[in-house]
């Protein structure tokens, strides 16, 4: 049976202000005004959706504080997006999980499994693993030796967790996340072209017989409480020390976090970001989509790295970083202004170029 709420219940849950125009409203779902029916709470959180309320079949809408409608009932919210989050938790249907341990799961006898743990089909749990109470592990997940997993975690299907990883409480791993795979770390017998370029600014030698040796990773990964990592993202183990993901940090799909990185607390890292090894990212840093960070960088707390930025040097706290190679936002604007002025100068030069040629 669908979940059902009254407007009064919804208003109390989200801390909103109800304007009541019609009795007997039952809310069974939420949606945009144009797709809403009489049992839908229409989400009109911006100007476009507010205008669409004139076309809705809904009897009630969530709107920003101060917005009212003569057509339908409203619940006003000071922070509509926060209210939407609370609503989605009300109507969210969690994934189905096995109660207890599925008969096809393999759990090593030395593993310690907490109370009310769910372990799905074809899960493999290695020796000396500990799993906290109420944690749910969905099918086809692999958990390596001596991994420690906290309470109330949710690991979706197909996750791979390498040896010795430490995962805190309430951590969510989406489908096919890789934790604690070996880092991308190699060395050559003689200085390679990267080392030459860094040291001398050019590449001189050609060593066609150069051999590349793998540097093993003996560290692991520490994921603190309340972290979420999106589908197909990878967090590599440290070479000697652990890679660390700070509490409350949220990582989107298709993100690469290299070996030895230290990611701060409450960071937001958006899809297709690549962070090379040994970077230190401060607390509450936002890294937008497709940004790339070179190795051994320090990014200060409360900074924002804009989409597709190519970050090749460190930045202090509260920086807004943009461009490739990335620079502070103020410098980037100056560059754009300079290019615009240069364009105007070129037009002026072309206007009088014939005079110079005639001389």
DSSP string covering 333-348, please?
HHHHHHHHHHHHHHHH
In a domain, 101, yes or no: no
The angle formed by the CA atoms of residues 252, 330 and 298, to the nearest 5 degrees, is: 50
Same domain for 200 and 59: no
Same domain for 247 and 233: yes
Same domain for 312 and 283: yes
Q: What does each of the 359 residues of the chain score in pLDDT, given as a tens digit? A: 478 999 999 999 999 999 887 888 999 999 999 999 999 999 999 999 999 999 999 999 999 999 988 889 999 999 999 999 999 998 888 888 888 999 999 999 999 999 999 999 999 999 999 999 999 999 999 999 999 999 999 999 999 999 999 999 999 999 999 999 999 999 888 877 877 777 777 877 777 778 889 999 999 999 999 999 999 999 999 999 999 999 999 999 999 999 999 999 999 999 999 999 999 999 999 999 999 999 999 999 999 999 999 999 999 999 999 998 988 888 877 777 777 777 777 777 777 666 676 55
What is the domain-level CATH number for residue 126?
2.160.10.10
Question: Which of 261, 176, 264 lies closest to 227 in space, CA to CA?
Answer: 264
Same domain for 155 and 260: yes
Residue 291 is predicted with a pLDDT of 98
Same domain for 12 and 29: yes
CA pair distance 18, 288, nearest whole angstrom: 36
Same domain for 157 and 287: yes
Same domain for 235 and 138: yes
Same domain for 320 and 341: no
Query: Which stretch of DSSP H or E encloses residue 275?
Result: strand 274-275
**How would you list the strands of the sheet with 292-293, edge to edge?**
106-107, 124-125, 142-143, 160-161, 178-181, 234-236, 256-257, 274-275, 292-293, 310-311
Domains of the chain: total: 3
Residues 6+ apart with CB under 8 A from 77: 14, 15, 16, 17, 62, 63, 64, 65, 83
Residue 355 is predicted with a pLDDT of 66
Question: Cα dist. 19→29, 49, 81, 160 in Å?
Answer: 19, 18, 19, 50
Same domain for 124 and 207: yes
Domain boundary (37, 58, 91) is at 91
Same domain for 342 and 311: no
Tell me if residue 259 is catalytic.
Answer: yes
In 78-158, the DSSP E strands lie at 106-107, 112-113, 118-119, 124-125, 130-131, 136-137, 142-143, 148-149, 154-155
What is the domain-level CATH number for residue 55?
3.40.1390.10
In a domain, 18, yes or no: yes
In a domain, 69, yes or no: yes
Same domain for 168 and 307: yes
Select which of 89, 108, 156, 259 is catalytic: 259
In a domain, 1, yes or no: no
CA pair distance 277, 166, nearest whole angstrom: 19
CA pair distance 3, 24, nearest whole angstrom: 16
202: number of Cβ within 10 Å: 8
In a domain, 98, yes or no: no
In a domain, 261, yes or no: yes
In a domain, 28, yes or no: yes
pTM: 0.85
Residue 326 is predicted with a pLDDT of 85
Domain boundary (91, 117, 152) is at 91
Domain boundary (91, 123, 143) is at 91
Same domain for 343 and 294: no
Phi, psi of 221 (to 5 degrees): -130, 135
Domain extent for 323: 106-328
Contact predicate 315/296, CB 8 Å: no
């Amino acid at each position: 049976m669908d979940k059902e709420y009254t407007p009064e219940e919804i208003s109390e849950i989200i801390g909103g202000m109800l304007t009541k125009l019609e009795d007997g409203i039952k809310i069974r779902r939420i949606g945009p005004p144009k797709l809403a029916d009489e049992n839908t709470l229409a989400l009109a959180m911006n100007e476009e959706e507010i205008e669409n309320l004139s076309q809705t079949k809904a009897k009630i809408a969530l709107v920003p504080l101060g917005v009212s409608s003569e057509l339908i009932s409203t619940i006003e919210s000071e922070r509509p997006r926060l209210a939407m989050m609370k609503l989605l938790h009300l109507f969210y249907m969690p994934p189905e999980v096995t109660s207890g341990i599925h008969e096809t799961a393999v759990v090593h006898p030395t593993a310690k499994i907490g109370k009310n743990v769910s372990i799905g089909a074809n899960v493999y749990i290695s020796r000396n693993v500990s799993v906290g109470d109420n944690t749910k592990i969905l099918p086809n997940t692999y958990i390596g030796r001596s991994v420690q997993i906290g309470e109330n975690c949710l690991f979706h299907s197909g996750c791979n967790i390498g040896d010795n990883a430490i995962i805190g409480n309430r951590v969510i791993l989406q489908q096919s996340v890789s934790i604690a795979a070996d880092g991308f770390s190699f060395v050559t017998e003689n200085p390679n072209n990267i080392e030459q370029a860094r040291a001398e600014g050019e590449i001189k030698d050609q060593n066609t017989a150069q051999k590349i040796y793998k540097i093993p990773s003996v560290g692991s990964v520490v994921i603190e409480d309340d972290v979420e990592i999106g589908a197909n993202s990878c967090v590599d183990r440290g070479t000697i020390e652990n890679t660390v993901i700070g509490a409350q940090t949220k990582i989107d799909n298709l993100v690469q976090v290299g070996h030895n990185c230290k990611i701060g607390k409450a960071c937001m890292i958006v899809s297709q970001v690549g962070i090379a090894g040994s970077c230190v990212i401060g607390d509450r840093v936002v890294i937008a989509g497709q940004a790339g960070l070179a190795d051994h960088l320090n990014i200060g707390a409360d900074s924002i790295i804009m989409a597709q930025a190519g970050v090749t040097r460190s930045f202090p706290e509260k920086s807004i970083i943009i461009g490739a190679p990335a620079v502070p936002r103020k410098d980037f604007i100056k560059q754009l202004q300079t290019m615009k002025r240069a364009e105007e100068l070129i037009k002026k030069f072309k206007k009088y170029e014939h005079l110079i040629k005639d001389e």
